Structure 1
Amino acid sequence: MEKKLPKKKKILIIDDEQDITEMLSSFFQSRGYEAITAGSASQALRQVETRPDLILLDINMPGEDGFSLCGKIRDFINCPILFLTARVEDADKVRAFLAGGDDYIVKPFSLLELEARVAAHLRREQRNAASSLVKFTDSLVIDYGRRKVFSSGRELPLAKKDFAIVSLLSQNPRQVFDRERIYERVWGYDAEGSSTVVAEHIRKIRSVFEEYGCKDYIETIWGVGYTWKE
């Protein structure tokens, strides 16, 4: 029987300097890790959806800095976040930890030391078992594990069936679902009722999205059904 290889640990490297991300990506891949990269906050949020096991985050980036980005994702992502920075002031170190960081590594650094710290954090990391899939779309955050939706940090008051519809559509973007299929997936195949209730729930979801300043992510394909816009 063929022995199953252990799953590679995934490291997300966030830095606007391409030579640094390429160097770190190449190094960690050579050490048996899966490495993915992002050069901006928006790219980083998309990559966070892939559920990395650890994040290396540069502080000094154009636009949204590492402190702000860390604070934005920390409530939804449980993996260790290690700051990489040329700053050496104690105030910056304190700010990094207050933002939700787990470690602070000053540039220039030894790759072997960085690898040792990464390995140490991964060995201690027990939070992955409780981590949940999270989707970031503009200011909208969908936490599938806690079954909650947030807009600019505010939780949207969605009923259980409303969240189930959002979950179904958002996890299958661009796929069109007719009312009958949504009803079967959300209410169950043996549910007593009519698929006409789906349209009413879609209206409620759109009303909540509008109230909380979200754009309408649910697109109606007339005569066919509904799909999630990205």
Structure 2
Amino acid sequence: MEKPWEPKAKILIVDDELDLRKLLADFFELQGYVVMTAKNGHEALRQVEKHPDLILLDINMPEMDGLELCAKIRSFISCPILFLTARVEDADKISGFRAGGDDYIQKPFSIHELGARVEAHLRREIRSQHKTSIKFSEELAIDFSARALYFRGERIPLAKKEFDIVELLSTHPGMVFDKERIFEKIWGMDDEGDSAVIVEHVRRIRYKLKEHGCEDRIETVWGVGYRWRKS
């Protein structure tokens, strides 16, 4: 069955378990996707040259693990990267998001839930392509179609989830979002235990703004959450 975003979206599955690769490949091919597979990080590096629309990436692989691979490819791959892993600690999740991951699927998982998350991420990618550029001042501009933030004409490099947070807050200036709500909006999950992930992402956004001479646009509402400062 063809999908409503773009036909034949390409999915790259990276996992050292042959049976799991085959299971996922068969499932997603039946859903109408073009599927590529890799059993390790080195094979995955060759496959990403084919520009996948989404990557399913196992963390626990020999030689080059998923975190290392994600960090290596994130600088030139902008598609969603979903980690598949048995790790469950908050520190491991934060490491995954810091490396550039967009979602975290815990093994063992429901293959139908995984399919639904893949659909959600791909739909979100298409929606972001139809945004228009919004300029908040003469010095700061956000191009939602290019998913880029500029200050005085110079681009401020943001990871995917960092831009998602900027997009969410900046399109609702003055509105307060608590950490759990931000997590639910960006990652598609309601998990109060992951508020530390939001704190870390906001810290990195603020650091990058400051590094480029831009004053902080994200205000902390103590005991509540964050909001984008009105011009």
TM-score normalised per structure 2: 0.52
Amino acid at match of 2:65: D
Distance 1:77 1:130, change over 3 A: farther
Instruction: Show the counterpart of 1:88.
Output: 88
Instruction: Show the counterpart of 1:48.
Output: 48
SS of the residue aligned with 1:55? strand
For structure 1, list consecutive stretches of 5 or more residues without a partner in the other structure. Answer: 1-5, 132-230
Shift of 1:32: 0.9
Instruction: Show the counterpart of 1:61.
Output: 61
Shift of 1:84: 0.2
Q: Deviations over 1:74-104 (max 9, x none)?
A: 0100000000001111111110000000000
* 1:120 counterpart = 2:120: yes
Summarize the alignment of residues 8-27 of structure 1 with structure 2, pairs less than 5 Å apart. Answer: 8-27=8-27
Q: Deviations over 1:4-38 (max 9, x none)?
A: xx630110000011111110000000111111100
Summarize the alignment of residues 103-182 of structure 1 with structure 2, pairs less than 5 Å apart. Answer: 103-126=103-126
- RMSD (Å), alpha carbons: 1.7
Q: Deviations over 1:116-174 (max 9, x none)?
A: 1000000001477869xxxxxxxxxxxxxxxxxxxxxxxxxxxxxxxxxxxxxxxxxxx
Instruction: Show the counterpart of 2:176.
Output: none
- Write the distance in 2 (CA, Å) between the matches of 1:85 and 1:35: 20
Identity, in percent, stands at 64
* 1:29 counterpart = 2:33: no
TM-score normalised per structure 1: 0.53
- Write the distance in 1 (CA, Å) between the matches of 2:79 and 2:103: 12
Shift of 1:66: 0.4
- Write the distance in 1 (CA, Å) between the matches of 2:109 and 2:146: 32
For structure 2, list consecutive stretches of 5 or more residues without a partner in the other structure. Answer: 1-5, 130-144, 148-231
- Write the distance in 1 (CA, Å) between the matches of 2:121 and 2:91: 23
- Write the distance in 1 (CA, Å) between the matches of 2:7 and 2:121: 17
- Write the distance in 2 (CA, Å) between the matches of 1:39 and 1:78: 21
Moved >2 Å (runs of 4+): 126-131
Instruction: Show the counterpart of 1:72.
Output: 72
- Write the distance in 1 (CA, Å) between the matches of 2:50 and 2:39: 16
Name the count of aligned residue pairs: 126
Amino acid at match of 2:82: L
- Write the distance in 2 (CA, Å) between the matches of 1:7 and 1:112: 20
- Write the distance in 2 (CA, Å) between the matches of 1:20 and 1:111: 11
- Write the distance in 1 (CA, Å) between the matches of 2:146 and 2:86: 33
Q: Deviations over 1:50-79 (max 9, x none)?
A: 000000000000001100000000010000
SS of the residue aligned with 1:49? helix
Amino acid at match of 2:42: S
